């Protein structure tokens, strides 16, 4: 996820709102998150339902400068009661400062029974006493997906191999248009769609054990398994005529050419939010050399004060009722971690498959760049863009990434094992 934002935005927000002020009053609850616009409107529906149920007022503040605002307020001693962070790495940085409270005595067993076992494990972070649950996943996304239109690519279904996918790419590109839709652009930091490719290739070619050690800083970027992932991505991204878009195409616009007539591209490697874009798209899982695993991401709510009303809101956010609201209004772009959410709210069979994977028995692994310390993540983003422009410099690029890895303190790395249905 994108973490770096302009500091000017922080100053503007703090000047305009006066900060979070530790909840404002004893009766209300303050919530800080990154959502603005339509996303904020959808989240407010969740908060409004809580107020209707309990009578507790909620003051919501949305800012794209989330980490900077939250850091400032924590340092001042006036944190919001609850903050929703876009990655476990971000949340862990505040856990290490002692700013976030564990939830083991906050969330009851009823919510835990509905919350899938994978997510209960993914929401745990190490502390001085071992591992504890520090988060409630407010929204989740499934990655490791390759989207296509079955009317235009009728021969893509079920599992496929990497070599088979390359052969299909050759065939689609020679038939007109480009095989792949791809966009690296994103405000304020570009490159993360490319990191998703690298991560999927590490996960599905090298396996979960290597993936987990790599995301925890224990495998060198120059290691054969990691270098092989970069060169495999180059088979797609760097092949002339195979990609529509790329460096200067916004990730949100990249897939639009799939819907034109004739299509400008046929395949799109992107997360489950694509399901909300409309059309009759379907997906296949990313090719795997071994047991099936999936990359996931989530927006994670953490408790920053011990106010009883805030604890009550955290409990509500974990319920099936709260978890059903946003997916209902999102039309397929938001999914829940709760097994108790009625699958009918997802509207169609494709969305229900996504929801089933997110709450089923398969292994779920957090997006590796979401687990890495911010310095490593930002260097990863930049490296993706440099590789696309200068692929012959891959060894130098990976060498510099290893230098960043070595400079990060050992205590800043986060170990989050992949969640599985039996754990």
pLDDT tens per residue across span 62-92: 999 999 999 999 999 999 999 999 999 999 9
What are the DSSP E strand ranges found in 27-172?
A: 29-33, 58-62, 82-85, 124-127, 130-133, 136-142, 145-148
Pairing mode of beta strands 178-185, 243-250? parallel
Q: Show me where the domains of the chain are located.
A: 7-141+297-363, 145-285+396-412
Q: Which fold has domain 145-285+396-412?
A: D-Maltodextrin-Binding Protein; domain 2 (3.40.190)
| Over residues 222-251, mean pLDDT | 93
Residues 28 and 54: their CA atoms lie apart, in Å, by 11
Q: What is the pLDDT of residue 113?
A: 63
- 236, 242 contact by CB (below 8 A): yes
Q: Say whether pLDDT at 2 is over 50.
A: no
Q: What is the pLDDT of residue 157?
A: 75
Q: What is the pLDDT of residue 51?
A: 98
CATH match of 7-141+297-363 with 3.40.190.10 = yes
The secondary structure element, H or E, covering residue 182 is strand 178-185
Q: Would you call 143 helix, strand, or coil by DSSP?
A: coil
Q: Say whether pLDDT at 44 is over 90.
A: yes
Averaged pLDDT of the chain: 89
Q: Are 7-141+297-363 and 145-285+396-412 in the same CATH fold?
A: yes
The one-character DSSP state at 101 is B
User: Per-residue confidence at 351, pLDDT binned at 50, 70, 90?
Assistant: very high
Residues 327 and 137: their CA atoms lie apart, in Å, by 13
Which residues sit opposite 363 in a β-bridge? 293
Q: What is the pLDDT of residue 197?
A: 97
Which residues sit opposite 228 in a β-bridge? none
């Amino acid at each position: 996820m994108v973490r770096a934002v302009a500091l000017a935005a922080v100053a503007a927000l703090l000047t305009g709102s006066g900060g979070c002020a530790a909840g404002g009053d004893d009766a209300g609850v303050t919530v800080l998150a990154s959502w603005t616009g339509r996303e904020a409107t959808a989240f407010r529906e969740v908060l409004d339902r809580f107020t209707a149920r309990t009578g507790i007022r909620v003051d919501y503040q949305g800012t794209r400068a989330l980490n900077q605002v939250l850091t400032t307020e924590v340092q001042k001693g006036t944190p919001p009661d609850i903050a929703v962070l876009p990655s476990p790495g971000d949340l862990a940085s505040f856990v290490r400062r002692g700013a976030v409270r564990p939830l083991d005595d906050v969330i009851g067993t009823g919510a835990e029974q509905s919350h899938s076992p994978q997510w209960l494990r993914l929401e745990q972070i190490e502390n001085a006493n071992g591992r504890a649950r520090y988060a409630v996943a407010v929204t989740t996304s499934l990655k490791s997906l390759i989207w296509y239109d079955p009317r235009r690519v009728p021969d893509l279904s079920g599992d496929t191999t990497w070599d088979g996918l390359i052969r299909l790419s050759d065939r689609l590109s020679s038939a007109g248009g480009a095989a792949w839709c791809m966009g690296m652009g994103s405000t304020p930091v570009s490159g993360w769609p490319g990191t998703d490719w690298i991560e999927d290739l590490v996960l599905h070619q090298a396996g979960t054990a290597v993936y987990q050690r790599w995301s925890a800083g224990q495998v060198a970027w120059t290691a054969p398994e990691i270098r092989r992932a970069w060169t495999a991505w180059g088979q797609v991204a760097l092949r002339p005529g195979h990609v529509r878009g790329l460096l200067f195409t916004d990730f949100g616009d990249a897939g639009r050419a799939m819907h034109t007539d004739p299509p400008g591209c046929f395949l799109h490697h992107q997360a489950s939010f694509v399901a909300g874009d409309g059309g009759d798209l379907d997906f296949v899982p990313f090719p795997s050399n071994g047991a099936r695993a999936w990359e996931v991401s989530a927006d994670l709510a953490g408790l920053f004060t011990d106010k009883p009303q805030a604890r009550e809101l955290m409990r509500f956010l974990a319920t099936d009722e709260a978890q059903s609201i946003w997916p209902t209004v999102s039309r397929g772009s938001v999914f829940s971690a709760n097994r108790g959410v009625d699958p009918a709210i997802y509207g169609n069979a494709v969305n229900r498959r996504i929801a089933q994977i997110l709450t089923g028995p398969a292994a779920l692994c957090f997006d590796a760049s979401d687990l890495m310390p911010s310095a490593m993540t930002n260097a990863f983003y930049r490296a993706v863009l440099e590789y696309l422009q200068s692929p012959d410099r891959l060894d130098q690029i990976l060498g510099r990434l290893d230098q960043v890895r070595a400079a990060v303190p050992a205590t800043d790395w986060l170990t989050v094992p992949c969640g599985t249905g039996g754990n």
